[in-house]
Amino acid sequence: MKKVTKVFSVMVASVALAAMLSGCGGDKKPAGGDTIKVGGNLEMTGGSASFGISSKNAIELAFKNINDKGGINGKKLELVVADNKSEAAEATNAMQKLVSQDKVVAVIGPNLSSATIAAGAINNGSKVLDIAPMATNPNVTVDPATGKTKEYNFRACFIDPFQGTVMANFAKNDLQATKAAILIDNSSDYAKGLAAFFKENFIKNGGTVVAEESYLQKDTDFKATLTKIKAAAPDILYVPGYYQEVGMIVKQGREMGIEIPMAGGDGWDSAKLPEIAGKAALNNTYFSSLYSPDDDSALNKAFVSEYEKAYKVKPDVFAALAYDSALLVAEAIKNAGDTDPVKIAQSMAKINGFQGVSGTVTFDAQHNPVKSAVIIEHKDGAQTFRTKINP
C-alpha cells in the first residue's frame, strides 16, 4: 500500500510541477506567419451546450469558406475554441485564456448575455474585440454605470428592448390583443429581458397583462402552468424562450385547449420547432426575427445548404448569427489591413451595409446592428413572412 501511495504522490507532484512549469514558460507565440487566430468563447459543455456547438460549427464553416478563397490578406483564419461551460465565471476564465495565452486578434461569443458581460471586463481590459452572436442584453455593449459604449464589445443580434417592443406593437395593432399572458424562461436573461420590454410596451399601448408565469430551461411539463394561464383568459400568450421548451409549450398549450395566438422572439427560429410542437399546433403563432426565409438571399441559401451538408442538421439561429459574426470579424480584419486587435476593433465599428446571412449589418453608436425586424407567422409548419418593422 505504501508503495502505491508513494508512486501516486510522486506522480501528483510531478504533474503539478509540470503544469506549473509549462504554465509559466508556456506563453504561446503571438499569431504570426500564415494564420490569424480568432477565439471562440463558446458554450461547449453544460446546460447551453447546444448553443455553443451550433455556433462553433457555423464559425468553422465560415472560416473554411474564407480560407478556401485564399483567406484574408493572404493569411488563413484559425478558430481557437475555449469552453465557457455555459457559466459566467468560466467565460471570464476562457476569455483570459484566449486573450493572454492564445493571443487571438478577436473573439466570437459567448451566446449567453451574463457570460458575455462578465467576460467583457477581460477583453475590454486587454483591448481585444469581442462579438457576441446572440447576447441580447443591452448591457453587453454598454456599461450601465457610466452609460458609455464598451469600446471592444459588439453583437450580431437584436437587443432585448427592440424585439420586445416590436412584438408588443404587433400584438396590439395587428392581432388586436388587449389581455396578454407572459410565460418566461426564468433561467434565461434573454427571455426575461424580452418579457420586460414586451410588458412595458403592451401596457403603454393600453393592454393589460393578466398572467405572468415562468419555467426553467430543460423543463418538459408545462401543463400545470398552462392550466393556470388558461384560467386567466388572455387573448395572446407571449413566450420569449428558446425553441426546445417553446415547442413543448405550444404543443401542450394547444392540447389544453388554448387556441389564442402565441408569440415569441428569435429564440423560436429553428427547423426543430414544427417537429416538436406539431404543424397544426403552430398555426396562429408569430415571432420576431432577423431574417425572413421569403427574403431568400443567395448567401443565406448557400449557408443553409452547406451547413446541412457538413453537419447533417439545419442551422438554427445560433448558427446563423455565429456565421455572420465570423464574416464580420473577417471583414473587419480585411478592412483594418492589419492584425492589430485595436485596429480591428476600430474597423469593426465602421462596418456599414455589410451583407450577412441574417441581413444587412451597420453598427450604431452602441455597437448594436441596425437591422429591420420581420414578424414571421407559422402556417402548417412553414415560416411565412407576415410584416416588416423598421427600428
Partner 1 sequence: MNALRKKDLLTLVACAVLFAVMQGLMMAEIIGPFWELNIVLICINIILSVSLNLINGYTGQFSIGHAGFLAVGAYTGAIVTVKLGFSYELALIAGTVAAGFLGFLIGLPTLRLNGDYLAIATLGLGEIIRICILNIDYVGGASGLMGIPRLTNFPWVFWIMIFIIFFIKNFKNSAPGRCCLAIRENEIAADTMGIDTTKYKVMAFTLGAAFAGTAGVLFSHYFYIAHPASFTFMRSFDILTMVVLGGLGSMTGAITGAVLLTFISAYLAEYPEWRMIIYSITLIVLMLRRPQGLFGNKELSLKMFHLGGGKDGSTAESK
Partner 2 sequence: MDMGSFMQQFVQQLINGISLGSIYALVALGYTMIYGIIKLINFAHGDIYMLGAYFGFIATTMFGFSFIPAILFSMACAALAGIIIERVAYRPMRNAPRIAILITAIGVSFFLEYSMILIATPQPRTFPAVFEATIYHFGPLVVNSQQIVILISALILMAVLTYIVQNTKAGKAMRAVSFDADAARLMGINIDRVISMTFALGSALAAAGGVLVGIYYNSIDPLMGMVPGIKAFVAAVLGGIGIIPGAMLGGIILGVVEAMVSGFFSSTFRDAAAFAILILILLYKPAGILGKNVREKV
How buried is residue 343: exposed, middle or buried, by Cβ count under 10 Å (0-12/13-18/19+)?
middle
- Residue 83 or 102: the one with the smaller Cβ distance to partner 2 is 83
Q: CB neighbours of 333 closer than 8 A, spacing ≥ 6?
A: 36, 72, 73, 77, 105, 106, 339, 344, 347
> What residue 220 binds from partner 1, partner 2, none (CB within 5 to 8 A, per partner kind)?
partner 2
CB of 55 to partner 1, least distance (A): 12
Considering only residues 25 through 64, tell me which ones interact with partner 2, judged by CB under 8 A: 45, 47, 49-50, 53-54
In contact, 156 and 325? CB cutoff 8 Å: yes
- Nearest distance from C-beta of residue 7 to partner 1, angstroms: 10
Amino acid at 342: V
248 is a site residue for partner 2 (CB under 8 A): yes
> Any contact of residue 381 with partner 2 (CB under 8 A)?
no
Q: Could you tell me how many residues of this chain bind partner 2 (CB under 8 A)? A: 35
Nearest-approach distance from CB 63 to partner 1, in angstroms: 17
247 near partner 2, judged by CB under 8 A: yes
Q: Give me the long-range contacts of 216-223 (CB less than 8 A, separation at least 24).
A: 216/185, 216/186, 216/187, 217/47, 217/48, 217/185, 217/187, 217/188, 217/242, 217/245, 218/47, 218/245, 219/245, 220/248, 221/252, 222/183, 222/248, 222/249, 222/252, 222/253, 223/252, 223/256
Distance (Å, whole) CA 96 – CA 90: 10
Member of 105, 166, 209, 276 binding partner 2 (CB under 8 A): 276
- By the rule CB under 8 A, 227 interacts with partner 2: yes
Closer of 255 and 294 to partner 2 (Cβ):
255
Q: Which is nearer to partner 2, 102 or 185 (CB)?
A: 185
Least CB distance from residue 106 to partner 1, whole Å?
A: 17
298 binds, among partner 2, partner 1, none (CB under 5 to 8 A by kind): none
**Phi, psi (rounded to 5 degrees) for 20:** -60, -45
The set of cell numbers assigned to 4 is 502505491
CB of 5 to partner 1, least distance (A): 6
Return d(Cα 335, Cα 149) in angstroms, integer: 22
Binding site for partner 2 (CB under 8 A): 45, 47, 49-50, 53-54, 186, 213-216, 218-221, 223-225, 227-228, 231, 244, 247-248, 251, 255-257, 272, 275-276, 278, 311, 313, 316
